[in-house]
């Protein structure tokens, strides 16, 4: 008795996907447990890692077909190994790298803005404490003052981590911006 029909699809742009699974089905659980497959929100299907912009991988197709057949499914194949010209592949890669640079730059800016806002919250508290003002242990405001200072210190640490992540994203964007130049001039250091 077959649990249903699944389709293994492959084309250059979208890669190798398994379509027709449902959440928590045996196929879903088998693909989730397999190290070579991941859920792709982009494709809304299970995607074979490193299969986009390449030809299909027959051994991987046979392996997952065997796993899904053993789980009780009928598996169909829809494979298109047509590749664009080398010039078109290079143009597509350059476009993807440009998109990556733009995404990383945008994310870096958002994280830096968040880090600046978190730092401003901490600085606001610290600037309103008189220089050298100790915590007044026996005062009625002790607990509130202590909590305010702890939040400020936590925000300061958080802003530093957010800023470091923003710097990392900016560094990755910078590296991605040099990718095509290094690809076509491998002997020249682009940095």
Return mean pLDDT, the chain.
89
pLDDT band at 2 (very low <50, low <70, confident <90, very high): low
Q: In the predicted model, what is the mean pLDDT of residues 100-116? A: 96
- Gap between the terminal Cα atoms of the chain: 60
Pairing of strands 74-79, 45-48: unpaired
pLDDT in tens, 121-142: 999 999 988 888 888 888 888 8
DSSP code, position 10? E
pLDDT band at 186 (very low <50, low <70, confident <90, very high): low
3-state secondary structure of 101: helix
Closest CA to 154 of 108, 121, 113, 116: 121
Domain locations along the chain: 5-79, 86-184
pTM (2 decimals)? 0.70
Residue with tokens 């640079």: 101
Structure tokens that stand for 42 in this block: 């982009």
- pLDDT score for 189: 60
């Amino acid at each position: 008795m077959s649990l249903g029909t699944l389709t293994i699809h492959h084309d250059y742009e979208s890669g190798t996907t398994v379509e027709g699974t449902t959440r928590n089905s045996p196929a879903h659980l088998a693909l989730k447990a397999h190290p070579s497959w991941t859920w792709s929100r982009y494709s809304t299907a299970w995607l074979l890692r490193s299969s986009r912009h390449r030809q299909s991988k027959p051994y991987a197709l046979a392996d997952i077909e065997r796993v899904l057949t053993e789980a009780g499914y009928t598996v169909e194949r829809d494979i298109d190994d047509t590749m664009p010209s080398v010039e078109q592949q290079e143009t597509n890669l350059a476009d993807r790298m440009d998109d990556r640079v733009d995404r990383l730059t945008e994310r870096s800016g958002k994280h830096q803005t968040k880090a600046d806002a978190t730092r401003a919250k901490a600085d606001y508290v610290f600037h309103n404490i008189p220089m050298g003002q100790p915590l007044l242990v026996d005062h009625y405001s002790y607990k509130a003052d202590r909590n305010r200072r702890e939040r400020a210190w936590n925000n300061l640490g958080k802003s530093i981590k957010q800023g470091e992540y923003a710097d990392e994203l900016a560094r990755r964007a910078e590296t991605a911006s040099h990718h095509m130049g290094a690809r076509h001039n491998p002997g020249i250091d682009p940095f």
